[in-house]
Amino acid sequence: MDELKNIAEKAQDIIITGHIKPDGDCVGACIAAYNYLHKFYPEKNINVYLKELPERFAFLDSNGKIISNKLPQCNPNLVMVFDSSSAAMLGEAVKLFRSAKDSVCIDHHISNKGYAKTNFIDVSASSTCEVLYNLMSEDDIDFKIAEALYIGIAFDTGVFRYSNTSRKTMEIAAKLMEKGIPFWDYIDKCFYQRTYIQAQLLGRTLLTSMLLMDGKCIFAVITRRMMEFYGASIEDTVGIIEQLRITKGVEVAILLYETGKQEYRVSLRSNKYVDVNKIAVYFGGGGHKKAAGFTMGGSVHDVVNNITEHIEAQI
């Protein structure tokens, strides 16, 4: 099966993009798709646009020639979007998405309703990179494509710890490993290494966290003042929600990240039975059953109270 190649066959100007604040799955999928298509269609004009590129995944575009943070000034025949559950998540790229003659969405989010003209959505897949792998010919996946796909799968499975990791996921990962990628180095570099600033911010956040609902819920807040004090960036907050989630006895972890005056980006994680995607969708966001997010206004007290009402309803 080589559907990815067939999708791009008739298009000359192609834009590849993903959701705002791209994570490892989004970055990996975009770069893997670019490398695969460029391999077969070097004559086509293929641009990858992501507003931001997290530093820890920058090695996937080591020469800085693939990803651009400037919106391409062109009229694409085809826009391919990855790991984005809705058009609203595309940010500025939504303009190109809506104006393109053709559009394709490749994703695994359960909240994705299929907003492109052609959609490849598999909610049973661990990641968008797993969905993408299934649209490629295995024999044509080289080292650079394999490393990008592996990073995406490893990211969305929590390095193969989450329950979305299936036998098929592990088999795909094994086949990517056979391409010679130094997977052990990727795991340390992308998922476990922390800068001193990141360690300080993590410690401060854990220190000020609170248990609710008889210990079944934990929440913490990262304020703009904290970010300024440590000289931290949004990327420095990665992994903190997971440290909250693994607190013994906790079913749901809530992390609030202050984005403006009485405005917070909310990240939710659950361990066993609470469907945090339902909660996120209710508040205008989305994600997965055990990992989701959204933005909410109000005081910390108001935000947490609103969320815990929905958690209690499920518990």
| Eight-class DSSP state of 255 | E
CA distance 291 to 252: 10
The partner residues of 297 in beta bridges, in order of sequence, read 263
Q: Quick one: which H or E segment has residue 82?
A: strand 78-82
CA distance 115 to 91: 15
CA distance 243 to 239: 7
Task: Tell me the pairing of strands 45-49 and 13-18.
Answer: parallel
Order of all β-strands in the sheet with 252-260: 210-212, 217-222, 252-260, 263-270, 291-297, 286-287
The partner residues of 161 in beta bridges, in order of sequence, read none
- Domain end position, chosen among 174, 192, 210: 192
C-alpha neighbours within 13 Å on the C-beta side of residue 291: 16
- Domain end position, chosen among 192, 218, 244: 192
User: Do 76 and 97 fall into the same domain?
Assistant: yes
Do 36 and 14 form a contact (C-beta atoms < 8 A)? no
User: Do 121 and 230 fall into the same domain?
Assistant: no
What does the DSSP assignment read for 135-196?
TS-GGG--HHHHHHHHHHHHHHTTTTTSTT--HHHHHHHHHHHTTT--HHHHHIIIII---H
Give the residue among 140, 143, 126, 132 at the shortest CA–CA distance from 60.
143
Q: Give the domain CATH number at 231.
A: 3.10.310.30
User: Do 130 and 164 fall into the same domain?
Assistant: yes
pLDDT tens digits, 158-176 = 899 888 999 999 999 999 9
- Joined together, the tokens standing for residue 123 give 């909610």
**Is residue 183 packed enough to be buried (19+ CB in 10 Å), middle (13-18) or exposed (0-12)?**
middle
How many domains are contained in the chain? Answer: 2
Amino acid identity of residue 301, one-letter, is H
Per the structure, the complete domain to which residue 309 belongs is given by 196-314
CA distance 28 to 34: 10
Do 268 and 276 form a contact (C-beta atoms < 8 A)? yes
User: Do 187 and 203 fall into the same domain?
Assistant: no
- Predicted TM-score (pTM) of the model is 0.84
User: Do 98 and 172 fall into the same domain?
Assistant: yes
- Joined together, the tokens standing for residue 122 give 């598999």
User: Do 64 and 170 fall into the same domain?
Assistant: yes
User: Do 256 and 172 fall into the same domain?
Assistant: no
Per-residue pLDDT of the chain (315 residues; tens, 9 = 90+): 589 999 999 999 999 999 998 999 999 999 999 999 999 999 999 999 999 888 889 999 988 899 998 888 888 999 999 999 999 899 999 999 999 999 999 999 988 999 999 999 999 999 999 999 999 999 999 999 999 999 999 999 989 988 899 999 999 999 999 999 999 999 988 888 899 999 999 999 999 999 999 999 999 999 999 999 999 998 899 889 999 999 999 999 999 999 999 999 999 999 999 999 999 999 988 888 888 999 999 999 999 999 999 999 998
Do 25 and 155 form a contact (C-beta atoms < 8 A)? yes
User: Do 183 and 211 fall into the same domain?
Assistant: no
Give the residue among 239, 308, 286 at the shortest CA–CA distance from 87.
286
CB atoms within 10 A of CB 195: 12
| Eight-class DSSP state of 109 | -
- Domain end position, chosen among 192, 227, 258: 192
Q: Give the domain CATH number at 77.
A: 3.90.1640.10
